[in-house]
Chains A and B, each alone.
Chain A
Amino acid sequence: MTLSTVALPSTVNSPIMNVQVPTVNDLRVKLCYICREEELYDAVDGENPPRAWTHPCKCTLIAHEQCLLKWIQTAQGSSSRAPNALKCPQCGAAYELESKDPWILKFIAGGNRVLQKLGSLFTVFGAATVVCAVGTSLYIICTTYGAWAVQKFIGKEMFDTLLTDDPSNWPWTAFINLPLLPISLILSRFQSTNELSPIIPILLVWPPTYPVGERSRRLQDYWKKPENSTRLGSLFSNTPSPTRSWPPSPVLFSLFGLPIIRMIYRSCYAHLYYKLMGTRLAVATRDRNRRGLRFEEGPFVIRIRANVQEEGQQQDQQQQQQPQQAQVDPQQQQQQLQMVDQAAEEIAAANQDQDPDAAAVAVAAAEQLIEINASSLGRRVGGALMIPAISSAMGSLLFRLSKHSSLLRQFLGVRLGMGSKKFPLPPPVVMELFGLEGEWEGAGLVKQFVMGCKLGMAALWGGTRTWAESDPIWWRNTVGLGLFIAAKDCIHLAHLWLAKRELESRKVKNRDFQGVDIRELDLIPGFPQP
């Protein structure tokens, strides 16, 4: 079978000479470039049936047609080799295939290719959709949790003023801050001592927020009425500092109060620890080492570490919890000793048959337990996510207690008469109410700038008026959480102390040789023989 022939120009141009152009069948020796078999033109013992030869390109390579077709078919089967399948490896000429390739086959093959393209597009878009859907639902869950946490923490009334249940009223920052809340809460459980307390994000984020939505407009309308605004006048002077200086503003408290209290608490805790355990709370150096490691390691290892601490290195865990212990007021430290005793009794009852990890021996033993234990991981994450609910519960407990103690009421800054009881909270932007707008517009650029700065600083340092004048639920929640953490630490310390005492007091009971044949014993000479 001849596919193509090399036509020399001279033969084409000189029909008279009629020189015959040789084909593959005119070769004396045929050598297949694929299988390397040779065939002589006059071979008598030729293969039976004779195999077809082909010369598919413009150079001298020839091949068995079956070999070539097999090569083409194989090469076309792999996408990386397909471009070279129909090409001579020596001269690069394209092979021409003659086959039964009616338009219907071309059509179907073309359709198949189009479908393939569409299919891969669909794969990409489908994957993107799945990722988006998962991401969106995660985002929604996180945001919902964030909103719930904020509401738990600052109280329903403030929440309705600042955020409301309707996300369409939220400022754009809320859509970033809220979903980050659960993440920062969880992360704070896995971070070391010097990281910010989980409450700080909430405190820092919300004070400068202004009321939003329909409710806010209604508030302004309410306070604009003459009979109400006179009352407002008595409430607010024009100085930026709120009429009440206690409790401190959230920003002020989280920037300065928390670190100081945390420091005091930590030293108190270390002191108490030393008194109870007889050894120093020697975590500082180790903790530093751990942190160095932690930065280099992946999340997987972080989890393992977290678990190791959960299992055994309780002193470390103690230290880990420090960020959350920060809210405790120094005056509450005295309660600790009493609480230790109480807690000790409870735990003694609960743990008598247990042999909990304690002290250095247990730490060493627990080092070996580098297995992820799902429950303890869940305990960590779950505990972190429970913080808003715990602080809210503790806050309302404090509130109930404050009904019986005026001192506590003062400390918590409970304002029963102010909040929703008599009239709604005033909006934070009092400028409009006091007719400052006119003054604002009349002022020059510099003065406007100064006024803006003043207002901004006032909002930052003093909190907005909304914060300052509302019932400070956030404050008693913070104090409550601090108390909770202190209590938890005390229980933990008691647990440690009891476990350590149990270990130290261990003795193996000594028995006499009752029941043993006395003749088998090598006794001292003075022992009375029977």
Chain B
Amino acid sequence: MASISARRLAKELREIQGEGCPVGISLLKADDFATWWFSIEVMGESLYQNEAYTLQFRFDSQYPISSPAVQFVVTDGKQAPIHPHVYSNGHICASILGNEWSPVLSVVAVCVTLQSMLASCKKKERPTDNDRYVRTAPENPKKVRCHLPKSVSSANSFPDTIPL
């Protein structure tokens, strides 16, 4: 019997492949149940119009009890969006990726939340402590707790996550 994490990820993957992703989000790579890549683009008018970013999910064996490690890909010429809650190394300061993570969330739900985080941005700028953070940050974004004043909450991500 495959682990709970693998079975749930398999199911999420089947749903993505069957029903497709929400507009602006597409699966780039899901070769295993450890690392998935998504392309994420903000639809409609926003500061990030016509800019596509790559989002990386890393899962451990405790998923979905433990949250996935989510960050923007900044290698291979890719860049993280300039946003008050996104560090230049791709790490994201969002509470749903940390202490507000809940198993009810899914990979697609996280993508949608981060998409709306970009869409609602008023000013393109890096977090104030970007340089210091990037210098000292560990490789895995889950190992740091972010302290930015207003981090992205999970408020708008739940309603359509679970088919009822």
Show the binding face of A for B, using Cβ within 8 Å.
31, 33-37, 60-61, 67, 70-71, 74, 78, 80-81, 84, 89-90
Contact = CB atoms under 8 A, between A and B. Distances in A.
A383 to B, nearest CB: 39
Contact of A36 (B8, B65, B98, B102): B8
A36 B11 CA distance: 7
A90 B8 contact: no
B156 to A, nearest CB: 13
B103 A71 contact: yes
Contacts of A74: 62, 65-66
B23 interface: no
A34 B106 CA distance: 10
A71 B65 CA distance: 6
Given A34-B65, A80-B98, A81-B99, A90 B104 contact: yes
B143 to A, nearest CB: 13
Contacts, number: 51
A425 to B, nearest CB: 61
B164 A35 contact: no
B102 to A, nearest CB: 4
A61 to B, nearest CB: 7
A90 B154 CA distance: 10
Nearest to A81: B99
Contacts of A70: 65
Contacts of A89: 102-105, 154, 158
A315 B2 CA distance: 76
Given A84-B99, A89-B102, A35 B64 contact: yes
A81 B11 CA distance: 26
Contacts of B101: 81
B145 interface: yes
Nearest to B66: A74
29 contacts: A31-B162, A33-B103, A33-B104, A34-B64, A34-B65, A34-B103, A34-B104, A35-B4, A35-B7, A35-B103, A36-B11, A36-B64, A37-B7, A37-B8, A60-B164, A61-B104, A74-B62, A74-B65, A74-B66, A78-B99, A80-B98, A80-B99, A80-B145, A84-B100, A89-B102, A89-B103, A89-B105, A89-B154, A90-B158
Given A74-B65, A74-B66, A84 B7 contact: no
Most chain A CB inside 10 Å of its own CB: which residue of B4, B64, B154 = B4
Contacts of B65: 34, 70-71, 74
A227 B121 CA distance: 93
Contacts of A34: 64-65, 103-104
B131 interface: no
A60 B161 CA distance: 12
